[in-house]
Amino acid sequence: MADWRDQVRGELDALTRRQTARALWRRHPSAWVDPSPGGTPAGDATGWLDLPQHMAEFAVELPGFADKVRADGYTDVVLLGMGGSSLGPLVLGRVFGTAPGYLTLHVLDSTVPGQIAAVRDRVDLRCTLFMVSSKSGTTIESLTLLDYFRGLLGSTGVETPDAQFVAVTDPGTPLETLAHERGFRRVFNAPVDVGGRFSVLSRFGLLPAALIGVDLKKLLPPVVHMATACRADADPLSNPGALVGATLGGPAKAGRDKITIMTSPRLESFSLWVEQLIAESTGKNGRGLIPVVGESLFDASEYGNDRNFVYVRLSGDDNAHLDAHADALQAAGHPVTRLQMNDTHELGAEFFRWEFAVAVAATSIAVYPFDQPDVESGKEFTRNLLSSPDGARGTPSVAHDSGDVVELISKAQPGDYVAIIGYLPESPEVENAVSELRAAITRKMNIATTFGYGPRYLHSTGQLHKGGPDGVIVLALGAGNEEALAAPGAEIPGTSATGSGANYGFESLFEAQMLGDLKALHSKGRRNTLTVLKTPYENAIRDLASSLNAAPW
């Protein structure tokens, strides 16, 4: 394989010839291939470039709202949202934590009953603000969770439960209409020309940041500086976004498409946001960059030559082992890009850098970064399952024992990767067990692995699984005995509902989402299987890892 540095230099030269940075800032459609039929044109999807100049306005408006909420005695905020509406706030909450006297943030982007119950039991409902975030205003998970918690508030004797809700959505959406009809405390509109995964520097990300006490005025200057630097078009070496875009796109064209993200411990959650940005923006038309996050550290010799490493480093964090690992990878000839953050308040600038970089990388691999053409297929199968479970269910490929899982993984070829999806309650125990399974796969097969909780991954890597390169093997881990949890009166968006709503429990919704996505994967010819786990789930996952380690090949 050619030296990756030559691939990056070649891509930088190509960016200069094409004047890519200039075309991007001018929103010129020539920067990318055409969007999918029905996709949003570039001119209507690049408003994120303008967000830095609006942050000064947000830095006054949003803390003022947060102060009023605090004065009213609220102690917690539960964010009900998916994908780009939730992952940015999740990062901000984990990186900054809660400032004294501000609200504690709980991000709920799951329909798994156990996960919903855990958040429900963690807060005092009477002192909790609910933030419903949905760009389209039709996100099935968010609206179902909205009705569930609204019902709970009513059952606890709260006289005006709707006053504990705020909505963040585009103007004119069904959610905005609903919020005004019910009398939500506040409706915040988002810019229509900013896609969900590019929206973290809008009210979608900055409202929850203000509620937990992040100083938005400290976030602003680094973002403005980064946006200004990303305007450089004569020399991509002086453009921090274009430079990272070239380091992603150039080697990918030569087979190094597994973008393996390493971060300082305090920035661990940042990789989840990057994962969605890369996967949904580039995974289409049989092409794509495959983000690999949350992976164990292996010896440099255990990685395939399809890897491209990016190390996001925060000064003052516990970086010694990661510094040594990055040095070893580079010495072994792997591409390693190092991005330095000197302070957590540079996080906003890093968001912008990556947005620009991924938009540039999309030009390198000839995909349009502002649509997600394969997301709808899984949603359609889910709606069919909910409206007619018996007629639409079908039969996914089911692994009846660990031997079936081992057999599926044994068929992987160099350059393939295994995407593990877990429709399970989140817990450190599950994540540790999944890490052991991922490590077993990588050491046995010398291939990359990814992991995402369902249904979160549907709004993150789901587009990549269905629309990206064919070298994916999907292993679904299903919960075998989830408790029943009612989802009262939730209308199914996108159906011809009469307004009476649909009655189904969360266990039905999450099962329909899991089976619907597997059905969509099957329709795309993707290799996949479902294994239903018994509790405790972490033990069942470790059994899979043990079976794989014991395989004779």
- Whether the predicted pLDDT of 68 surpasses 50: yes
Q: Among 158, 113, 143, 179, which Cα is nearest to 424's? A: 113
pLDDT band at 24 (very low <50, low <70, confident <90, very high): very high
Q: Quick one: pLDDT at residue 412?
A: 96
Residue-wise pLDDT for 141-160, tens only, equals 999 999 999 999 999 999 99
Domain with CATH 3.40.50.10490 in the chain: 4-31+235-364, 48-214, 375-550
Q: Cα separation of 462 and 456, whole Å?
A: 9
Judged against a pLDDT cut of 90, whether residue 298 lies above it is answered with yes
Q: What is the average pLDDT across 374-389?
A: 83
Mean pLDDT throughout 48-55? 95
Give me the mean pLDDT over the 322-333 stretch: 98
Which residues, in sequence order, are CB contacts of 156 under 8 Å at separation 6+? 125, 126
The class level of CATH for 48-214 reads: alpha beta
Higher pLDDT, 484 or 352: 352
Measure CA of the first residue to CA of the last residue in the chain; give whole Å: 27
CB-based contacts of 304, cutoff 8 Å, min separation 6: 258, 414, 415, 446, 447, 448
102 pLDDT tier (thresholds 50, 70, 90): very high
Q: Quick check: 334 and 309 in contact, CB under 8 A?
A: yes
**Between 379 and 498, the higher pLDDT residue:** 379
Tokens of 329: 């990878």
pLDDT, position 389: 56
Label residue 399 by pLDDT band (50, 70, 90): confident
- Judge if the upstream peptide bond of residue 455 is cis by omega within 30 degrees of 0: yes
Whether the Cβ atoms of residue 478 and residue 420 lie closer than 8 Å to each other: no
The pLDDT of residue 314: 99
Cα angle: 204, vertex 208, 209; to 5 degrees: 105
| Residue of 339, 336, 331 lying closest to 264 (CA atoms) | 339
Q: Do the Cβ atoms of 451 and 544 come closer than 8 Å?
A: no
pLDDT of residue 484: 53
Rounded to whole angstroms, the Cα distance separating 419 from 30 reads 33
Q: Assess contact for 528 and 473: CB atoms under 8 A.
A: yes
Lowest-pLDDT range, 2-6, 13-17, 117-121, 501-505? 501-505
The fold of 375-550 is: Rossmann fold (3.40.50)
Q: How many CA atoms lie within 13 A of 529 on its CB side?
A: 17
| Mean pLDDT value across the chain | 92
Better pLDDT: 484 or 246: 246
Torsion on CA atoms 202, 203, 207, 210, rounded to nearest 10: 40
Cα 348 to Cα 354: distance, rounded to the nearest angstrom? 10
Secondary structure (DSSP) of 23-53: HHHTT-GGGSPPPPTTPPPGGGTBGGGGHHH
pLDDT at residue 488 in the model: 44
**What are 100's two structure tokens?**
């004294």
pLDDT digits (tens, 9 = 90+) for 478-519: 987 655 555 543 433 333 222 324 467 888 888 889 999 999
Close Cβ partners of 285 (under 8 Å, ≥ 6 residues apart): 367, 467
Rounded Cα distance, 126 and 152, in Å? 10
Q: Which of 207-216, 321-330, 479-488 has the lowest mean pLDDT?
A: 479-488
Instruction: State residue 148's pLDDT score.
Output: 95
Does residue 235 surpass a pLDDT of 90? Answer: no
Predicted local confidence at residue 234, as pLDDT: 72
Compute CA 320 distance to the chain's CA centroid, rounded to the nearest angstrom.
28
Pairing between β-strand 165-169 and β-strand 448-453 as defined by DSSP bridges: unpaired
Report pLDDT for 498: 25
- The reported pLDDT for the residue numbered 495 is 30
Q: What are phi and psi for residue 222, nearest 5 degrees?
A: -65, -35
pLDDT of residue 486: 54
Is the CB of residue 416 less than 8 Å from the CB of residue 471? yes
The percentage of residues in the chain with a pLDDT greater than 90, rounded to a whole number, is 82
Helical segments of 446-534, H only: 462-467, 506-523
Distances (CA, A) of 300 to 251, 253, 500, 506: 18, 22, 58, 43
Q: Are strands 76-80 and 128-133 parallel, antiparallel or unpaired?
A: parallel
For residue 388 the two structure tokens come to 């007619």
| pLDDT of 337 above 80 | yes
- Model confidence band, residue 308 (pLDDT cutoffs 50, 70, 90): very high
Predicted pLDDT of residue 492: 34
H helix or E strand, kind and range, residue 312: strand 307-314
Query: What pLDDT, on the 0 to 100 scale, is given for residue 503?
Result: 65
Which range has highest mean pLDDT (24-33, 346-355, 486-495, 528-537)? Answer: 346-355
User: Check: CATH 3.30.360.10 for 4-31+235-364?
Assistant: no
pLDDT of residue 368: 96
Give the tokens for residue 3.
Answer: 């030296």
User: Quick one: pLDDT at residue 387?
Assistant: 83
Which of 141, 91, 111, 81 lies closest to 454 in space, CA to CA?
111
Q: What is the mean pLDDT of residues 58-77?
A: 98
Q: Which two tokens stand for residue 214?
A: 């992040």
- The answer to which of 112-116, 164-168, 480-484 has the lowest mean pLDDT is 480-484
- Residues 363-374: what's their mean pLDDT? 95
